Every structure is written in structure tokens, then in C-alpha cells.
Amino acid sequence: MRFNKLSLLLIGCAMAQLVDAHEFEAGQLHIDHPWSRALPPVAPTGAAYLSISNHGGTADTLLGAKTEVAGKVEIHEHVHADGVMKMQRVESLTIEPGATVTFSPGSYHLMLFNLARPLAAGESYPLTLNFANAGDVDVQVNVQANDEPSAGEKQDHHQHH
């Protein structure tokens, strides 16, 4: 009976989330729903979003990420400077015990440079996150249709050097 209860619980959780929600466990880290926006084939850069929760007793630090679909991945954040939203690179990002860091449009994101191929809606691609303690953590990023623009995030405002 215990098994049945657990199964029901899991089904309940799955139904409460988006159909394509997915998550990953790596030691004390829980990584929820990595996703990217689908982009036009000519887009040179893209972004990946996810959330990282630290269920352990010690802090861990995201040092970077890599993926076969991009030549380079950087951790970015959006900052307000002189009334303008701009992105800037973050060297590393510490996730304190009990904390959740959410990467989302207009906030932290994993910037994908030199895309090797278009990010098409419905596909997914592998991404490896590198943590100071947890080491390399592989996740799959779902590419979602670009039909719900969020405030503060437009592809063409991205300024990179």
C-alpha cells in the first residue's frame, strides 16, 4: 500500500506541473525544468533558463556550463543601469543551503553564444552544469515556442561585445 500511495503522489505532482516540466537530481542539488525559447534560424545567441535548489547543508557554486549547441555559455544577469536593462556576465553563482536560484527571462540566464544550430520548438538539447562541489551535472533543456514574451526580455536588446 505504501508503494501505491507514493505512486499516486508522484502522479499528482506531475499533473500539477506543465506537461513538459522535468527535473534533475544531483546530490543535494535539485534542478527544475531547464528550458529555452525557440529562436529564428538566424539568431546567433540564445538563453537557457532553469531553477537550482540546494537541499543540502552546505553551499554549492555554479561555475559555468557547456552544451554542444553553443560555442560558449556564460552565466548572465540583468541589471538596471541609467534606466536601461542590460545584461552582464556573472563569474559564478553561489546557492546557499535551503536556497533556490531561478534563472528566468529578465533575470539570471545561461547565455548561449555561437549557436551551432537553431533552437526549434519541441526539441531538447543536453546541457552540462559545472558546480564547485557537485561537479558536472547533465540536464536536458526543452525548447519552447516563443509565444509568451515576458517583460524585460527581448532578443534584440541583448548587447554583447
Site size for Cu ion, by CB under 5 A? Answer: 3
What is the rounded CA–CA span in Å between residue 69 and residue 62?
Answer: 20
Give yes or no for residue 48 binding Cu ion (CB under 5 A). Answer: no
Give yes or no for residue 111 binding Cu ion (CB under 5 A). Answer: yes
**Minimum CB separation from Cu ion for residue 45, in Å?**
7
Given a contact cutoff of 8 angstroms between Cβ atoms, the answer to whether 85 and 49 are in contact is no
Instruction: Show the site string, 70-99: x = touches Cu ion by CB under 5 A, - = not.
Output: ------x----------x------------
Q: Which residues contact 51 (CB under 8 A, 6 or more apart)?
A: 31, 32, 33, 100, 101, 102, 103
Closest to Cu ion by CB, 37 vs 76, is 76
**Minimum CB separation from Cu ion for residue 94, in Å?**
19
Q: What is the binding site for Cu ion (CB under 5 A)?
A: 76, 87, 111
